[in-house]
């Protein structure tokens, strides 16, 4: 019997009803919570209604390109951390796969693919999802203010303590950089915040 995976929400997006049904049935057997969409707009509507952990996304859809959907989601701070795997039976070349990854996808599965391989690929992503959830839980439970940013200073994660101290929403802060915060704050506040994130002399 498959282990409980009901904590993982998967959205399958494909305009072929047979593929949609077969893929959903395969993953439901693994006890994932599965939703489906037959178009790009249905995909976006489903994301608003129920934030998925993973999207299996067809590249070619009747209304919106899967590539454009991926780009849109990855550029939105509210959805950028959703894992996206492209699944395509028509665009399967190495060039197509590179394009998908360049648009921000976390993986690419060319069809045809066996049920066994599909499940294994999904399981590998689910391990990453669960690790990230545990990591985020640790950050949120921390009593200190925590800001994570890239080498350019662009903020990629903040915990609740930071938003409480600075008065910004999480969405606002994910569109900011460390420099933006420094400009908005008094020098004494910058020093206090830095000491809470990086304890030590300043």
Look at 9-18, 31-40, 64-73, 82-91 and tell me which has the smallest mean pLDDT.
82-91
pLDDT tens readout for residues 154-176: 888 888 888 888 888 877 888 88
Do 158 and 93 lie in a common domain?
Answer: no
What's the gap between Cα 55 and its chain centre? 9
202 in any annotated domain: no
pTM recorded for the entire structure: 0.73
Do 121 and 182 lie in a common domain?
Answer: no
Do 67 and 89 lie in a common domain?
Answer: yes
Cα separation, 33 vs 24, whole angstroms? 9
Q: Give the relative orientation of helices 17-28 and 115-141 as an angle to the nearest 10 degrees.
A: 60
For the cut 80, the answer to whether the pLDDT of residue 183 exceeds it is: no
94 in any annotated domain: yes
Do 44 and 114 lie in a common domain?
Answer: yes
3-state secondary structure the chain: CCCCEEEEEEEEECCCHHHHHHHHHHHHCCCEEEEEECCHHHHHHHHHHCCCCEEEECCCCCCCCHHHHHHHHHCCCCCCCCEEEEEECCCCCHHHHHHHHHCCCCEEEECCCCHHHHHHHHHHHHHHHHHHHHHHHHHHHCCCCCEEECCCCEEEEECHHHHHHHCCCHHHHHCCEHHHHHHHCCHHHHHHHHHHHCCCCC
Cα separation, 194 vs 175, whole angstroms? 19
Domain with 179 in it: what CATH number? Answer: 3.30.450.20
Structural domain containing residue 36? 5-138
Cα separation, 115 vs 21, whole angstroms? 13
Split into its structural domains, the chain has a count of: 2
pLDDT tens readout for residues 40-67: 999 999 999 989 999 999 999 999 999 9
Whether 56 contacts 32, CB under 8 Å: no
């Amino acid at each position: 019997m498959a282990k409980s995976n009901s904590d993982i929400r998967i959205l399958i997006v494909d305009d072929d009803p047979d593929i949609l049904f077969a893929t959903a049935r395969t993953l439901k057997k693994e006890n994932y919570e599965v939703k489906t969409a037959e178009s790009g707009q249905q995909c976006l509507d489903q994301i608003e209604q129920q934030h998925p952990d993973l999207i299996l996304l067809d590249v070619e859809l009747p209304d919106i390109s899967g590539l454009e959907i991926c780009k849109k989601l990855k550029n939105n701070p509210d959805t950028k951390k959703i894992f996206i795997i492209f699944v395509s039976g028509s665009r399967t070349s190495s060039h197509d796969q590179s394009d998908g990854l360049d648009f921000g996808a976390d993986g690419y599965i060319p069809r045809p693919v066996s049920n066994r391989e599909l499940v294994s690929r999904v399981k590998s992503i689910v391990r990453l999802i669960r690790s990230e959830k545990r990591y985020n839980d640790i950050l949120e439970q921390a009593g200190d203010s925590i800001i994570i940013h890239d080498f350019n200073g662009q903020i990629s994660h903040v915990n609740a303590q930071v938003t409480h101290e600075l008065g910004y929403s999480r969405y606002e802060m994910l569109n900011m950089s460390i420099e933006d915060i420094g400009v908005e704050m008094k020098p004494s506040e910058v020093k206090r915040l830095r000491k809470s994130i990086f304890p030590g002399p300043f």
